[in-house]
Amino acid sequence: MSMPAFLRIARQGNEGIVPVIYRRVACKRRGGVRFTLKGQSSFNMVMISNVGGSGAVKGAWIRGSRMRSRTSWMPMHRNWGANWQSSVDLRNQELSFKLTLVDGKALVFYNVVPSTWSFGQTFSSQNQFS
């Protein structure tokens, strides 16, 4: 940011502190939520992108197709940014995801990733937050 522009928004005498007021607004996205698979055999890292609605993922769960109970969702933990991870080996399984946004909206993405997936691939769902 240029110095003249910065000085117009900064308080005189407190140039190192810029008051910022913001509010979240809903985002409309084209296409579905995307899941990019990263990691290795000992852990899965998933980058979740193209998220509509509030756009901010608060919670993420993963489920493989060979889980003992079809309702066994495993919580994922935020690694950094849009990357979420789990420490379960889910290779050679279809993957489903459940996401909750900061505004409380939730969606389930069933079998969005086929069992033939490999690390580095991105899969786009048919579902999107509104």
**Per-residue pLDDT reduced to its tens digit, 25-50:** 777 889 999 999 998 877 889 999 99
**Per-residue pLDDT reduced to its tens digit, 74-89:** 999 999 999 999 988 8
E-only strand ranges, 13-125:
34-40, 43-49, 57-64, 74-80, 83-86, 95-101, 106-113, 122-124
Domains within the chain, CATH numbers bracketed? 29-124 (2.60.40.760)
Whether the pLDDT of residue 125 is over 70: the answer is yes
